[in-house]
Amino acid sequence: MKRFVAFALTCMLLVCMFPALAETAPSTSKLITDEPVTLTVATIDNPYTASPLTPDLPVWKYLEEITGVHIEFETYSADQYVTAMTTRLGAGVELPDIIDMPVSFSDAYQYGKDGIVIQLNDLLEEYGTYYKQTLADKPKLESLMKGLDGEIYYLSTVRDEEMASGPYGWVIRKDWLDKLGLEEPKTLDDWYAVLKAFKEKDPNGNGVADEIPMTNYSGLSQMLVWGNVWGLHLRQSGGFYPDDNGVVQYEFIDERAKEMLAWLNKLYTEGLYDMEAITNTRSQFTSRMSSDIAGAAIAWQETTTTWNGALKASGVEDAHWVLTAIPTVEGYTPLLETSGMSNGIISISKNCQNPKVAMKWLDYVMYSEECAKLMTLGLEGTTYTEENGEITMTEFITNNPDGLGPVEAVRSLGAWQYFPFRLYSKYVTLLKMNDPEHVERAAAYIPYIVDAFEEGIATEEEMDIVSRKLTDIQTYVEEMCTKFIINQASLDEWDSYVQTVKDMGIEDVLAVYRTQYERMNAE
């Protein structure tokens, strides 16, 4: 009897131990699938050109190891992606399994109604574990995804306030300012004086008038950030924004936009703005910033680390790019637009043979905090260490051997891609804010941060109105704004320009956006 009792107790003990053993022992089970599955994914290529986006990068190898899903990328450069993918979506054949959608919410929804991408409601209900957790935290997210019929055809991740974690703003060569005995500019008048000095007083000291006082890439897009000085929302929100009464307006025909264009025209005419700014590619821009010829730009703060490293490696020992104050102009309150709540949208194509696996993989990659940490901070032991919940970035981030800034450093391993993942400000801050100067300068931007405009999904009737009119309006507006800046059109034609925009139907588009805005905020 004693032997039986002892045996029984032993069995009970083993049964109790098994769960604990399962928790502590290494597991061969994968998070998504134990049977290897390959999915094709279309997205923008790694902007860190030395490490194009491939499944062989360390972060993606680790992700495959833990999920059981192998990813084959179909990539394009940022300036080619929209054209390439909209062409493929329009044809509707030979599509990858998963598509980083280069279109608006409404257009992505319409691709679903047309059968190009699949409906996700049932898959989300069954496999959207992390998605549901995200909705509990970000309830407005679903309003960006669900049509009036309740159908969902794409997933959107969310970002916490990234701007507060590493701002996108005005950067300047402080060493040039110091050399010329100038203070950091604050007002537009200050900026004019500084840029003029950069052009005329040889701050790089080579005896050649080769300085480019201010530059940018992406043409008009980056220039539009100057609209923030006048309280405009032109770049991220496309000029659509509710006024103080909550009524959506189109700010590209606002008198403040005319003032901004007059300012940019003045800089361009006097050679204070890069004469190639409209056509500069990212690589051309990076070359300028990493050479001893550019004095100012609009960029993410963390990229100053890379440029400083490149300049010092070339012999410019005192190189010091810094984020400086948002410019001000009398009579206006400046602002800084966020990138919006959405961090990109993803659909599963009709050609996907493993939609369940695709959804489980997307749910983990796009919505889990575990993967957000991986995609932001990189690999534990390489880019950071963690002890008792305390995370410390390694020298690979804080003093990268190749002179890369924090984001470029993790990108070289495959993290921080354009492929959507959730951005948590706590991880973004850990990555970007390792320099006390960065922390101090970023803090000065926080009071100016405002949300970008997000209109939600349109009805088919609303989409018809917008699709028929807005593309032509945007093309005309971009063309005219560019011409106003580079002296191909005079601002004396402003009233005619405004009237043309009205004649093209901007009020009809505004009526749609006002309805969508009211509908989304009523939910």
Q: Any idea what the CATH number is for the domain that residue 357 is in? A: 3.40.190.10
Mark whether 203 and 304 lie in a shared domain. Answer: yes
Is 449 among the domain residues? yes
Instruction: Provide the pLDDT for residue 433.
Output: 84
Which residues have a Cβ under 8 Å from the Cβ of 450 and sit 6 or more positions away? Answer: 233, 335, 336, 337, 338
Instruction: Provide the pLDDT for residue 329.
Output: 96
Average pLDDT for runs of 10 along the chain of length 523: 38 39 49 95 84 93 97 90 94 96 90 96 97 91 88 90 73 98 98 98 96 90 94 94 95 98 97 87 86 93 89 94 96 88 90 98 97 96 95 94 89 91 88 86 90 82 88 96 96 98 97 89 71
| Closest C-alpha to 321, from 332, 310, 330, 331 | 310
Is 11 among the domain residues? no
First to last CA, the chain: 68
Instruction: Provide the pLDDT for residue 165.
Output: 64
Strands 248-250 and 336-337: unpaired
User: Domain boundary residue among 363, 394, 423?
Assistant: 423
Mark whether 278 and 353 lie in a shared domain. Answer: no
Instruction: Provide the pLDDT for residue 99.
Output: 98
Q: Which domain holds residue 328?
A: 173-337+437-523
Is 1 among the domain residues? no
User: Domain boundary residue among 400, 423, 446?
Assistant: 423
Mark whether 226 and 273 lie in a shared domain. Answer: yes
Is 392 among the domain residues? yes
Mark whether 184 and 57 lie in a shared domain. Answer: no
Is 212 among the domain residues? yes
Instruction: Provide the pLDDT for residue 201.
Output: 97
Mark whether 238 and 186 lie in a shared domain. Answer: yes
Q: Indicate the number of domains in the chain.
A: 2
DSSP 286-332: HHHHHTTTB-EEEEETTHHHHHHHHHHHTT-TT--EEE-PPPB-TT-
Q: Secondary structure of 445-468 in the HEC alphabet? A: CHHHEECCCCCCCCCHHHHHHHHH
User: Domain boundary residue among 371, 391, 423?
Assistant: 423
Is 123 among the domain residues? yes
Residue type, 302: E
Is 8 among the domain residues? no
Mark whether 442 and 488 lie in a shared domain. Answer: yes
Q: CB pairs under 8 A, 24+ apart, for 149-153?
A: 150/121, 151/109, 151/112, 151/113, 151/119, 151/121, 152/119, 152/120, 152/121, 152/124, 153/108, 153/109, 153/111, 153/112, 153/113, 153/117, 153/118, 153/119, 153/120, 153/347
Mark whether 475 and 510 lie in a shared domain. Answer: yes
Mark whether 131 and 69 lie in a shared domain. Answer: yes
Instruction: Provide the pLDDT for residue 404.
Output: 87
Mark whether 189 and 264 lie in a shared domain. Answer: yes
Cβ atoms of residues 327 and 170 within 8 Å: yes
Is 109 among the domain residues? yes
Mark whether 301 and 241 lie in a shared domain. Answer: yes
CA 172, CA 325: separation in Å to the nearest integer? 10
Q: Which of helix, strand or coil describes residue 246?
A: coil
Mark whether 216 and 304 lie in a shared domain. Answer: yes
Instruction: Provide the pLDDT for residue 12.
Output: 42
Instruction: Provide the pLDDT for residue 163.
Output: 58
Mark whether 386 and 242 lie in a shared domain. Answer: no
Question: With the C-alpha atoms ordered 95, 98, 104, 107, is the resulting torsion angle positive or negative?
Answer: positive
Rg of the chain over Cα atoms, rounded to whole angstroms, equals: 26
Looking at residue 116, the DSSP 8-state letter turns out to be S
Helix (H) or strand (E) holding 100: strand 98-100
